[in-house]
Amino acid sequence: MSGKTQTHWFKSCVAFSLVIHVIVFKIMIETVNWNWISTLFGLICFASYYVMVFAMNMHMLSPLIQPEINGEFLLIFTSLKACICLILIPLVALLPDIVILFSQKIFWPNPTDVVMLK
């Protein structure tokens, strides 16, 4: 522990990445009919977000957009605390949705669920 605090841009990048993770995972939870197209587009959502963020953090492009954000996003992957947050917070945030979804399918299935479970 160095005692050094992170910058505003670091915290903002972590927070916005968390929002993206929660939204994409929520869409995946709400998807009823999974196929290769929905799986592919879920992966494309994550990939396009990270490709764009990495591109905007490059030394050539970031001064044109926001000079203070140069390399900040790359610091997320060097911070263990930020990486743990990116993994655990979406799971904890979506835990009630997952519990409600499974309890509805098990205890109060609609006609479609009954047919799909046979």
Q: Where are the domains of the chain?
A: 8-117
pLDDT tens-digit readout, 9-29: 888 889 999 999 999 889 888
Sign of torsion, CA 7 62 67 2?
positive
The answer to whether the CB of 47 falls within 8 A of the CB of 55 is no
Contacts of 83 (CB under 8 A, 6+ apart): 76, 77
Tens-place pLDDT, residues 61-100 = 777 777 777 778 888 888 899 999 999 999 999 999 999 9
Burial of 73 (0-12, 13-18, 19+ CB in 10 A): buried
Question: Whole-prediction pTM value?
Answer: 0.80
Which of 22, 12, 21, 3 shows the shortest CA–CA distance to 73? 12
Report the alpha-carbon distance of residue 88 to residue 91 in Å, rounded: 5
Q: Is the pLDDT of residue 3 over 70?
A: no
> How far from 93 is each of 2, 47, 73, 79, CA to CA, in Å?
30, 22, 22, 21
